[in-house]
Amino acid sequence: MAAFGLYTHIQSNRRRSIALLIGLFFLVYVLVFAGALLAEALSVPNAPLDYLVQAGFHDLWIAAPVATLGTILWVLIAYKFHQRMIDAVTGAHQVTRAEEPRLYNLLENLCISRGITMPSLRIADDDALNAFATGLNEKQYSITVTRGLIGALNDAEMEAVLGHELTHIRNGDVRMLVIAVVIAGVISFFGEMVFRLFFQSARFGGLGGRRSNNDRKGGGAAIAIVIAIVLIVVAWLLSIVIRFALSRRREFLADAGAVELTKNPDAMITALRKIENRGELATANSSVMEMCVDNPRQGFSDIFATHPSVDARVAALVKFAGGHDPGPIALEPSADPTPAETPPADADSFLHPQQREGASGPWGDAPQPSSQDGGPWGPRQP
């Protein structure tokens, strides 16, 4: 298993981030071209395919500046407001040391031990057991922990989870995943817009739009429509594949980073076992769940799962970090009795056991005091 904070891994993540940004613009232009091809096919249904493709590229050239500005605006909005959007979805809010001294001190001690700039700390009022990190730079980095996780984990386990999220921040995983989510958002927006325009044009304009001198050559509209739809689907699938590819391997590295920070592989293992299948955030969408310690949402036959299984992660920690697997952990309900469960008190409950009627001990019945018997050892001497 790779060590925490490997320089090569960090550099690789930075290169991937740049590639993602380039891919963002490329996929947007692919969608714009697909939309232009659809529009031309609907407007000139009898034109040949080569004419429609050339017209689509011409439309792309005209629309490219608008698409570029729109994409940049989208990225800037995500850069500035993504944390507020996530907080709105999860119901999280920032906390201070005074509000959460235990959690704040654990995070601060980890950051001090490695000279890491401390991210802000947030709490999501959710009974699920999970945590995630967000942000695109040191001023924005934040770690969010659910109320359920705070109540279920002890200090060592909570420290391991915080170390896991700090590793994501240190290795650049958080920045990459936020960019990937932005890509998916742009692709979804443009793809939906193109499909809406296509169906509206087909409904109101049919396939009988403007004509051209190429009509007599006939025959390319149907093929152009198929090509455009394929391009849209491929672009959407690529954005999904990027998000899945970024999620799996980084979880193994973050687990290893937590062990390197805390020197306690067993704490990371027991934390994962407690979180296992208990991390579903009720209000979170798939993009937020991909950022979490564990994402219990599984795809068809695990092909589209964004996280490796807890069993696989625990096995890696046992093999490479020397941890011990306790197996699945059943969390016990709170030991504090509710008022309805508290037995009512009676007068005898305040008496010494030997003063209660019929009291007995492990060696038989306790002697009972009487008017003639001054105590358990015989009559008092006058």
Other beta carbons within 10 Å of 75:
18
Which of the residue ranges 34-48, 137-151, 189-203 has the most confident prediction, judged by mean pLDDT? Answer: 137-151
Q: Could you tell me the pLDDT band of residue 359, with boundaries at 50, 70 and 90?
A: very low
Under 8 Å between Cβ of 280 and 128: yes
Residues 6+ apart with CB under 8 A from 113: 261
Give me the catalytic one of 157, 165, 251, 276. 165
Average pLDDT of span 317-332: 91
- Helix 221-262 and helix 173-204, axial crossing angle in degrees, nearest 10: 160
pLDDT at 118: 95
Helix (H) or strand (E) holding 158: helix 155-170
H helices of 207-328, where?
221-262, 265-275, 286-289, 310-321
Say yes or no to pLDDT of 140 above 50. Answer: yes
Taking the C-alpha atoms of residue 242 and residue 85, their distance in angstroms, rounded to an integer, is: 22
Average pLDDT of span 346-373: 46
Which residue has better confidence, 112 or 366?
112
Q: Could you tell me the pLDDT band of residue 110, with boundaries at 50, 70 and 90?
A: very high
Residue type, 64: A
pLDDT at 324: 94
What is the pTM for the complete model shown? 0.73
pLDDT at 288: 86
Rg of the chain, C-alpha, whole Å = 32
Which of the residue ranges 80-94, 234-248, 322-336 has the most confident prediction, judged by mean pLDDT? Answer: 80-94
Please give the DSSP secondary-structure letter assigned to residue 86. Answer: H
Residues 6+ apart with CB under 8 A from 258: 160, 161, 163, 164, 166, 167, 268
Other beta carbons within 10 Å of 236:
18
Q: Could you tell me the pLDDT band of residue 349, with boundaries at 50, 70 and 90?
A: very low
Taking the C-alpha atoms of residue 186 and residue 242, their distance in angstroms, rounded to an integer, is: 14
Taking the C-alpha atoms of residue 103 and residue 123, their distance in angstroms, rounded to an integer, is: 10
Which residue has better confidence, 135 or 182?
135
> What φ, ψ does residue 133 adopt, rounded to 5°?
-115, 150
Bridge partners of residue 120, in order along the sequence: 142
Among 44-58, 150-164, 241-255, the minimum mean pLDDT is found in 241-255
Under 8 Å between Cβ of 37 and 228: yes
User: If DSSP codes are grouped into helix, strand and coil, which group holds residue 146?
Assistant: strand
pLDDT at 333: 62
Under 8 Å between Cβ of 44 and 209: yes
Say yes or no to pLDDT of 210 above 90. Answer: no
pLDDT at 184: 75
Average pLDDT of span 63-71: 87
Taking the C-alpha atoms of residue 146 and residue 32, their distance in angstroms, rounded to an integer, is: 40
Residues 6+ apart with CB under 8 A from 68: 25
Which residue has better confidence, 344 or 234?
234
Q: Is 165 one of the annotated active-site residues of the chain? A: yes
Which residue has better confidence, 102 or 239?
102
